[in-house]
Amino acid sequence: MEILFVRIDPVQEIAAEPATLDTLIDILRPKAVEPRATPEFLAMARACDWPLVYDEKIPPGYVHCRPTPGALPPLRAAEIADYLRVLMPKEQPGA
């Protein structure tokens, strides 16, 4: 089965029709030998601890990475810039 990921930032939930999600879960589960994915990818995927959701409306072979329903919308570019501006030290005179 070919699996296609459809990503919507920020990813907080992974949804797929049952057979596709079961295949993805099998790919990501710990094994003595990792035949399908690199160890780095598997470590990253397991560390995310995303909720996995069955969704019958998604076509077989597609996995939707989407925000959890009811989650706050992602920050706008201006909000991110303001946040980073607060974190960045001000330039020192003569520097």
Give whole-number Cα distances, 73 to 8, 45, 51, 53, 56, in Å.
11, 23, 18, 20, 25
> What pLDDT does residue 45 have?
63
Where are the chain's structural domains?
4-87
Please state, in angstroms and rounded to a whole number, the distance separating the CA atoms of residues 37 and 28: 8
> What pLDDT does residue 57 have?
94
> What pLDDT does residue 49 have?
65
Contact status, residue 54 vs residue 92, Cβ threshold 8 Å: no
Beta strands in 1-95 (DSSP E): 4-7, 13-16, 52-54, 62-66
- Number of H-type helices and E-type strands within the chain: 3, 4
**Which pTM was predicted?**
0.47
> What pLDDT does residue 1 have?
66
The 3-state DSSP class for residue 63 equals strand
Question: Chunked in runs of 10, what are the mean pLDDT values of the chain (95 residues)?
Answer: 69 85 79 64 64 88 80 76 75 59
